[in-house]
Structure 1
Amino acid sequence: MARVKEPAIRLLETAIRLLSEAGPESLQARRLAAESGMSTMAVYTHFGGMPQLIRAIAREGFIRLGRRLESSPHGDDPVADLLDLGLAYRDHAVENPQLYRLMFGVTATAGNRLADDLPEGEAAFAHLVKAVTRIIESGRAREEDPARAAAQIWSAIHGYVLLEIAGYFGGDGVEQILLPLGMKLATGAGDTAEAAARSAAEVTAHRTRRP
C-alpha cells in the first residue's frame, strides 16, 4: 500500500470491509465516516471525494491481486506455473467477489473501467505476460506476442471468474471447467495434449497438498 496518512488508510480499509460485507451500496461518505470514527469531510480531505476513494479501492484491489499472483508456485514446468497463476487469480476473485467486481467496473458504483489506466492493474497483468513468455521460450507454445497471448488467456479466466462468482458451476468448477479450459488454451497455443495433461495433473497435486 502506498504511504499515506493514517486516517486515509483507516478510511480505505473500512471501505473495503463495508464493500465485502454489504456490497457497493454501502460505499457512502456518511456511513464510511461513521464506521471509521471520523467526520464526513474526512473522505474529501484525504481522497477528494467518493469517486477518488472508489479508485483508491480499485488500486488496493490490484495491489492485493498482484501479491497473490506473486506468491503463486514457480517451478520447472512453465505451463503448470501458468495454470497455477490462473487458479491464484480465480481464488483471489472468489474470496473477494465484491472487490473484484469493483476493480473491473462491473458494479454500478464503479461506473467505468477502472482497470484501464491503473498502473497497479498493469503490474498485476505483467505476471501473466511473464508466465506466457516463459512458455514461449520453453518451446511449448508458438512464437507470438506474449502480451497479446496473455490478454487472450486473461479474457478466458476473467469470463470464467465472473460466471463463478455469479453462482455458476457449483463446487467443482475448477476441476471440471477451469483446469480443462487451461489445458485447451495450452494446446491451442502449441503444446501437446499429453504435456498439458501432465502440467494440469501437477497443479491438481499442488492444490491437494495445500492445507
Structure 2
Amino acid sequence: MSRASTDQRQELVEVAARLLTEQGPRSLSARALARETGTSTMAIYTYFGGMPGLVRAVIREGFSRLADRLATVKASDDPVADSFQLAIAYRRSAHLAPHLYAVMFGGSSIAGFQLSEEDRHLGLYTLRVARDAITRCIQTGRFRPADPWSITQHTWCQLHGLVSLELAGFLTSARPFNDEFCGYLRDLAVGAGDTLEQAQASMALALDKVNNT
C-alpha cells in the first residue's frame, strides 16, 4: 500500500472514530465519511471491504487509544496507587468517547458489525498493564496471594459495570460520583487483601498524581 493510500486509510479511521465519538452510531455512514474526508464512498470498500471492516478498524483504534492512556501510568513504589490510576484512566477514556466505548465492548452495533474473538483478544491484551500492576500488588504483599489475571478480570468486571451504568445514567448519589467511584476502587482493593488505611493512602496518592498531570 502506498504512503498516500495508507494516509487516506488512516484518515478514514480517525474521522470515523471522531464522528462516532461526537455524534453517535447514526452519524457513521459511507456517505458522511466520504463528505468529511473528501473521498468517494468506494474508498471504504477499497480499504476495508465495507462498513463492517471500517468499524473493526475503528474498534482497533479505540483499543489503541485506551492502551496509550493506560501506558501513561508509570510503575511506582505503590502498585495499588498505580492500579487506581489505571482505573481512573479507563473511566476517563470512556467519558471522552462514550459511543466508541460502547461499540468497543459490544454494547452498540453499526452496519451489522459484531465483535469477533480477535476483537475480544485485542481488548484483553490491552489489560496487560493492569495485570502487571495487580501482579506487583500481590508480590509486595498488599493483595493476598492469588492468580493476577483472575483478580484483573474480576476488577475489570466491576469497573466496566460501574462505568457502563454511570454513562447510561443509572447511578445516582448525594455525593459527587467521582467520590463514589474512588470509594468503589478502594473497597475493591480492600476486598483483594489490602488494609483500609493503606488503600486510602494509595488513593490519595493516585488522585494527587491524576490532578497534577
TM-score by length of 2: 0.89
- Flag the 1:100–1:81 CA change in 2: closer, same or farther, 3 A: same
Q: 1:187 aligns with which of 179, 186, 190?
A: 190
1:123-170 deviations in Å (ceiling 9; x for gaps): 311111111101011111111111111000011111111122223447
Q: Give the Cα–Cα distance (whole angstroms) in 2 for the partners of residues 111 and 201 of structure 1.
A: 44
More displaced 10-residue stretch of structure 1: 10-19 or 107-116: 107-116
Partner residue in 1 for 2:19 = 18
Within 2, Cα distance between the matches of 1:100 and 1:111? Answer: 17
| Mapped pair 1:126 → 2:125 | no
Question: What corresponds to 1:108 in structure 2?
Answer: 109
**Is residue 94–residue 163 contact of structure 2 (8 Å, CA) maintained in 1?**
yes
1:1-211 alignment runs, 5 A limit:
5-109=6-110, 114=115, 116-118=117-119, 119-167=121-169, 168-169=171-172, 172-175=176-179, 177-210=180-213
Change (3 A) 1:131 1:142: same
Q: Deviations over 1:68-118 (max 9, x none)?
A: 000024321111110011001111111111111111111132766637423
Taking the aligned partners of 1:206 and 1:74, their CA distance within structure 2 comes to 12
* Partners of 2:75 and 2:133 within 8 A in 1: no
2: CA distance between counterparts of 1:82 and 1:137?
Answer: 14
Task: Classify the secondary structure of the residue corresponding to 2:77.
Answer: coil
- Paired with 2:147 and 2:66, the residues of 1 have a C-alpha distance of 24
Q: Give the conservation status (yes or no) of the 8 Å contact 2:142–2:193.
A: yes
Identity of aligned residues (%): 43
**Alpha carbons 2:21, 2:97 under 8 Å: kept:** yes
Change (3 A) 1:131 1:48: same
Contact 1:80 1:199 survives alignment (8 Å) = yes
Amino acid in the other structure paired with 2:124: E
Using the size of structure 1 for normalisation, the TM-score is 0.90
- RMSD of the TM alignment (CA)? 2.0
**Contact 1:85–1:128 at 8 Å: present in 2 too?**
yes
Q: Secondary structure at the match of 1:108?
A: coil
In structure 2, distance between residues paired with 1:174 and 1:206:
15
Q: Secondary structure at the match of 1:142?
A: coil
Quick one: distance in 1 between partners of 2:139 and 2:149? 14
- Residues of 1 paired with 2:35 and 2:113: CA distance? 27
- Structure 1 CA distance for aligned equivalents of residues 18 and 6 of structure 2: 19
Residue 72 of structure 1 aligns to a residue whose secondary structure is coil
Letter of the 1:180 partner, please give it: G
How many residue pairs get aligned? The number is 207
More relative contact order, 1 or 2 (CA 8 Å, 6+ apart): 2
Deviation of 1:206 (Å): 2.3
